[in-house]
């Protein structure tokens, strides 16, 4: 087992009379990708924000290793037009005085994030996908032990989503950091994940992706349709797609329902 | 040149120099209305200073800071929409200030001076205080420039990166309060925000980095002070409003430039 970077027990956040999350136990390890999935309003962002100490928790304890450096990629970045800020300057703001990437690694990541040509652009002129890549790059600048991504592919088209998830996987391999990711997208995330946590105020089920997708609680949460779609992803090798994305009929195994 | 004109000019220049970077932050953080509220509260500070017989500038700083802290607490609790809250507190404090000032002996208080400034009444002694306050604000502002910029870009990101966001916010409000206390002499409580906001907004069109905008805002502010004083001297117009008129003229002139024009 690798080093536990951050663990929380019995985490709860109450606003008014309503528990946004309750009784959540979570443990994040170095080199592991943990994905939190759940329907809208399940408390995914609340969980992440309470782990980051951005909001007050009502119950529970959070323990971290000493000097834990977190790289955080917020859901979106809203920048005032009145602030003249280039991409390079924005990235500079995220640099850590002591812990910096080696020039080689910085160069590699800059290239991986396809940010080399964006450095002199004003932040406000970036597209959605470009903004997300720059946010990811900034989170990486501090050589984080733990990378926290709140819906990293928001506002990115499907092709961009696939490449962004690939990028995140590569980052884990390069930096060896732990990753906590929030998503409501079941399909793309599962492939690149070591641990899945299904959240709906409390943890419905958790474990390896295959394990979770078999769990009745998972089917309850996303409905047979959603869960079936996921099975489709897992069994993708059973069929092929034409260049238009239509499914070519082949031998299907049970549970592979294309509706 | 008459001495009093020189003092007025120097005092105005110093305040404009500090107002540049501070005003830029107010523009970036959408604090224009917030600044107005604090400035109006300054009048209440004046009344309180007279009542308790303490230094008026000190009373103004304290009242502004208290109101700023009260404001951020109320905004945080989301009692009512922020602009409504600012509207209420802004005019409530202005009216409360006017009412309490009216209770004093009328001869001893120059109400118009507080409301619209009395730049030409700046003496050597005032100048010393303005210089001290401006230096202090500038030194603090420069030393916290990067974290302040970080929280302006994104507060959550800044907090995760280890910046004490609440402290930075309070510090910024304190600096605004100090500048309001000294700038009151120059343009008066009703026009202080314009001295902070207008040069910064005018500088935006020409700038491609935050520092450039701050520096340019200072220069434009100093230009406005100089022009305003000249206008006041030659045409006998009120000094404070003249400065604001020149600043606004600069703003509209610069915004008629093509959008693509930038200093590199």
Per-residue pLDDT of chain B (264 residues; tens, 9 = 90+): 578 888 889 999 999 999 999 999 999 998 888 888 888 888 888 888 888 888 888 888 888 888 888 887 887 777 788 888 888 888 898 898 888 888 877 666 778 888 888 888 888 888 898 999 999 999 999 999 999 999 999 999 999 988 999 889 889 988 998 898 888 877 888 888 899 999 999 999 899 999 999 999 999 999 999 999 999 999 999 888 999 999 999 999 998 876 655 655
Q: Which chain B residue has the Cα nearest residue A123?
A: B153
CA dihedral B139, B143, B149, B150 (to 10 degrees): -160
Nearest CB neighbour to A54, from listed B27, B28, B156: B156
- A142 to B161: CB separation less than 8 angstroms, yes or no: yes
Angle of the B165-187 helix axis to the B32-52 helix axis, nearest 10: 70
Separation of alpha carbons A94 and A77, rounded Å: 14
Using the structure block, give the residue that is written with the tokens 């107002």. Answer: B19
Measured in degrees and rounded to the nearest 5, phi and psi for residue B222 equal: -65, -40
Dihedral (CA of B150, A133, A186, A5) sign: negative
| Selection from A178, A151, A13, A145 nearest residue A69 by Cα | A145
Distances (CA, A) of A78 to A83, A145, A219: 11, 26, 36
Q: Is the model more confident about B11 or about A234?
A: B11
B264 alpha carbon, distance to own chain's centre: 28
Q: For residue range B115-166, what is the model confidence (pLDDT) as tens digits?
A: 888 888 888 888 898 999 999 999 999 999 999 999 999 999 999 988 999 8
- B210 to A85: CB separation less than 8 angstroms, yes or no: yes
Q: Which chain B residue has the Cα nearest residue A85?
A: B209
Question: What is the number of other CB atoms lying within 10 angstroms of the CB of residue B50?
Answer: 18
Q: Which residues of A touch B210 (CB under 8 A)?
A: 83-85, 89
Separation of alpha carbons B164 and A32, rounded Å: 29
Topology (CATH level 3) of domain B3-190 = ABC transporter involved in vitamin B12 uptake, BtuC (1.10.3470)
Separation of alpha carbons B161 and B153, rounded Å: 13
3-state helix, strand and coil shares in percent for chain A, rounded to the nearest 5: 35, 25, 35
Question: What is the number of other CB atoms lying within 10 angstroms of the CB of residue A242?
Answer: 8
| Selection from B53, B30, B71 nearest residue B177 by Cα | B71
| Selection from B157, B161, B163 nearest residue A73 by Cα | B157
User: Is A149 within 8 Å of A180 (Cβ atoms)?
Assistant: yes
Give the model's pLDDT for residue A228.
53
- Structural Rg of chain B based on CA atoms: 18
User: Is B72 within 8 Å of B169 (Cβ atoms)?
Assistant: yes
- B208 to A94: CB separation less than 8 angstroms, yes or no: no
Write the DSSP symbol of residue A252: P
| Bridge-based pairing state of the strands A178-183 and A33-37 | parallel
Interface of A with B in 15-74 (CB under 8 A): 49, 52-54, 70, 72, 74
Nearest CB neighbour to B161, from listed A53, A90, A94: A94
Separation of alpha carbons B72 and B69, rounded Å: 5
- A72 to B160: CB separation less than 8 angstroms, yes or no: yes
Q: Domain boundaries in chain B?
A: 3-190
Instruction: Return the residue in A75, A77, A84 with the most chain B beta carbons within 10 A, the one to mutate for interface testing.
Output: A84
For the ranges A143-157, A215-229, B130-144, B186-200, the maximum mean pLDDT occurs at B130-144
User: Is B93 within 8 Å of B40 (Cβ atoms)?
Assistant: yes
Q: Domain boundaries in chain A?
A: 4-238
- A83 to B28: CB separation less than 8 angstroms, yes or no: yes
Average pLDDT on A184-199 reads: 77
- B161 to A72: CB separation less than 8 angstroms, yes or no: yes
Question: Which tokens in the block code for residue A43?
Answer: 């408390």
What region does A41 belong to: left with phi over 0, alpha with psi -120 to 50, or beta?
left
| Selection from B56, B151, B43, B139 nearest residue B98 by Cα | B43
Q: Which residues of A touch B150 (CB under 8 A)?
A: 93
Strand arrangement of the beta sheet that strand A59-64 belongs to: A18-29, A4-15, A59-64
Interchain CB contact of A88 with B (< 8 Å) = no
User: Is A42 within 8 Å of A20 (Cβ atoms)?
Assistant: no
Instruction: Return the residue in B23, B161, B164, B201 with the most chain A beta carbons within 10 A, the one to mutate for interface testing.
Output: B161
B interface residues, A as partner, C-beta within 8 Å:
27-30, 146, 149-150, 152-154, 156-157, 159-161, 201, 204, 207-210, 212-213
| Selection from A71, A33, A34 nearest residue A170 by Cα | A33
Q: Which chain A residue has the Cα nearest residue B156?
A: A54
Q: Which residues of B touch A49 (CB under 8 A)?
A: 156
Q: Which residues of B touch A74 (CB under 8 A)?
A: 154, 156-157
Complex-level ipTM: 0.84
Give the model's pLDDT for residue B200.
95
Interchain CB contact of A1 with B (< 8 Å) = no
CA distance B183 to chain A (A): 24
pLDDT band at A254 (very low <50, low <70, confident <90, very high): very low
| Selection from B100, B85, B74, B109 nearest residue B36 by Cα | B85
Nearest CB neighbour to B210, from listed A83, A96, A148: A83
- B204 to A148: CB separation less than 8 angstroms, yes or no: no
Using the structure block, give the residue that is written with the tokens 């009093």. Answer: B4
Q: Which residues pair with A202 in a beta bridge?
A: A200
Question: Which tokens in the block code for residue B84?
Answer: 């409504």
Topology (CATH level 3) of domain A4-238 = Rossmann fold (3.40.50)
Separation of alpha carbons B42 and B48, rounded Å: 10
User: Is A156 within 8 Å of A129 (Cβ atoms)?
Assistant: yes
Mean pLDDT of chain A: 79
| Selection from A48, A52, A54, A61 nearest residue A21 by Cα | A48
Separation of alpha carbons B264 and B258, rounded Å: 15
User: Is A86 within 8 Å of B209 (Cβ atoms)?
Assistant: yes
């Amino acid at each position: 087992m690798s080093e536990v970077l951050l663990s929380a027990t019995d985490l709860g956040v109450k606003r008014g009379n309503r528990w946004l999350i309750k009784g959540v136990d979570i443990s994040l390890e170095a080199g592991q990708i943990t994905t939190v999935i759940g329907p809208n309003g399940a408390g995914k962002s609340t969980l992440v924000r309470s782990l980051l100490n951005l909001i007050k928790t009502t119950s529970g304890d959070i323990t971290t290793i000493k000097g834990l450096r977190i790289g955080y990629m917020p859901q979106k970045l809203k920048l005032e037009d009145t602030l003249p800020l280039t991409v390079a300057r924005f990235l500079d703001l995220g640099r850590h005085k002591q812990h910096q990437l080696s020039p080689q690694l910085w160069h590699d990541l800059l290239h991986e994030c396809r940010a080399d040509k964006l450095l002199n652009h004003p932040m406000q002129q970036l597209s959605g996908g470009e903004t997300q890549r720059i946010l990811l790059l900034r989170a990486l600048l501090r050589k984080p032990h733990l990378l926290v991504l709140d819906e990293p592919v928001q506002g990115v088209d499907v092709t961009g989503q696939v490449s962004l998830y690939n990028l995140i996987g590569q980052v884990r391999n390069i930096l060896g950091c732990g990753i906590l990711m929030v998503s409501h997208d079941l399909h793309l995330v599962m492939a690149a994940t070591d641990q899945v946590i299904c959240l709906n105020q409390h943890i419905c089920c958790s474990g390896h992706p295959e394990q979770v997708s078999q769990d009745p609680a998972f089917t309850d949460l996303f409905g047979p349709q959603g869960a079936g779609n996921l099975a489709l992803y897992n069994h993708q090798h059973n069929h092929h797609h034409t260049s238009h994305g239509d499914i070519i009929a082949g031998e299907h195994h049970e549970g592979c329902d294309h509706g | 040149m008459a001495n009093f004109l020189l003092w007025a000019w120097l005092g105005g220049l110093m305040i404009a120099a500090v107002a540049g970077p501070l005003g830029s932050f107010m523009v970036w953080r959408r604090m224009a209305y917030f600044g107005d509220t604090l400035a109006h509260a300054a009048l209440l500070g004046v009344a309180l200073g007279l009542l308790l017989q303490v230094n008026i500038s000190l009373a103004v700083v304290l009242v502004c800071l208290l109101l700023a802290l009260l404001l951020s607490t109320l905004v945080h609790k989301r009692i009512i929409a922020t602009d409504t809250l600012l509207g209420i507190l802004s005019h409530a404090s202005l009216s409360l200030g006017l009412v309490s000032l009216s209770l004093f002996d009328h001869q001893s208080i120059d109400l118009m001076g507080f409301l619209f400034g009395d730049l030409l009444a700046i003496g050597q002694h005032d100048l010393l205080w303005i210089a001290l306050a401006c230096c202090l604000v500038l030194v603090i502002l420069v030393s916290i420039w990067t974290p302040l910029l970080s929280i302006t870009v994104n507060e959550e990101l800044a907090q995760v990166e280890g910046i004490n966001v609440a402290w930075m916010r309070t510090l910024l409000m304190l600096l605004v309060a100090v500048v309001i206390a000294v700038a009151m002499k120059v343009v008066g409580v009703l026009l202080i925000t314009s001295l902070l906001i207008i040069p910064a907004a005018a500088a935006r069109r020409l700038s491609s980095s935050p520092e450039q905008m701050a520096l340019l805002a200072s220069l434009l502010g100093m230009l406005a002070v100089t022009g305003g004083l000249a206008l006041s001297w030659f045409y006998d117009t009120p000094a404070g409003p003249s400065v604001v008129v020149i600043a606004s003229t600069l703003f509209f002139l610069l915004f008629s430039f093509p959008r693509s024009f930038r200093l590199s």
